[in-house]
Chains A and B, each alone.
Chain A
């Protein structure tokens, strides 16, 4: 069975700081990788996804993620965070024939 881990439970940054949220998964087959964001009181929104091709994926709102197959990782990055990025971030892994699995989430708090 697949599992997804996220390195940090809660990250606190000041505005303009750089962000990297770690995500690792355990599954040896072909995977599709996703990052979702959930702003306070709102529903899940897709930030970016990786299916195949260029392992560096660019998403919305200045986010990007890099798929490193050898490390089973799909870390999310943003060069300069804003207060409005305060939210919960979920990494998720899906593969054909397997259920979608979410990581436990990382809460990001950006201080103005």
Chain B
């Protein structure tokens, strides 16, 4: 149990276009989902915390207008990278928290974004 999927697993886009990444909890309801970014050979950096039905909370330095997060249901959160540029190329990973009182996050497989 506790499986999290991401789609797509990799995407290549042109500079200036927008890209949407989906994160789904397949066998549980996730009240909270997290979006991380991982640059090559570096650790995961939390970008934002997404709660179902409310606005996401962004970490300092993360542009909320550039990285749009929508947590429309208890099993789906989306991250849209708007007007992507080459510096946005990275590995984006989501995780999900089954509910209040849970201490363990379950991670998705990640999405590799390459902006040309």
Residues of A within 8 A of B (CB): 32, 34, 36, 42-44, 46, 49, 51, 88, 90, 94-96, 99-105, 107
Closest to B112 in A: A41
A95 CB, min distance to chain B CBs, angstroms? 8
Task: Name 9 interchain pairs, CB-CB below 8 A, sorted by A.
Answer: A34-B104, A43-B108, A43-B109, A44-B110, A51-B103, A94-B105, A96-B101, A99-B49, A101-B46
B32 CB, min distance to chain A CBs, angstroms? 10
A51 CB, min distance to chain B CBs, angstroms? 6
Residues of B within 8 A of A (CB): 34, 41-46, 49, 93, 95, 101, 103-105, 107-110
Q: Which of A32, A51, A90, A95 contacts B44 (CB 8 A)?
A: A90
Report whether B46 and A99 are in contact in the complex, using a CB–CB cutoff of 8 Å. yes
Q: Report whether over half of chain B's contact residues are helix, strand or loop; otherwise say mixed.
A: loop
Report whether B104 and A90 are in contact in the complex, using a CB–CB cutoff of 8 Å. no
List A contacts of B105 (CB < 8 A): 94, 100
Q: Which of B93, B104, B110 contacts A49 (CB 8 A)?
A: B104
List A contacts of B101 (CB < 8 A): 96
Q: Which of B41, B42, B93 contacts A43 (CB 8 A)?
A: B93
- Bound CA span A42–B38, Å: 12
Closest to B108 in A: A43
Knowing A43-B93, A100-B95 are in contact, say whether A94-B103 is a contact too (CB < 8 A): yes
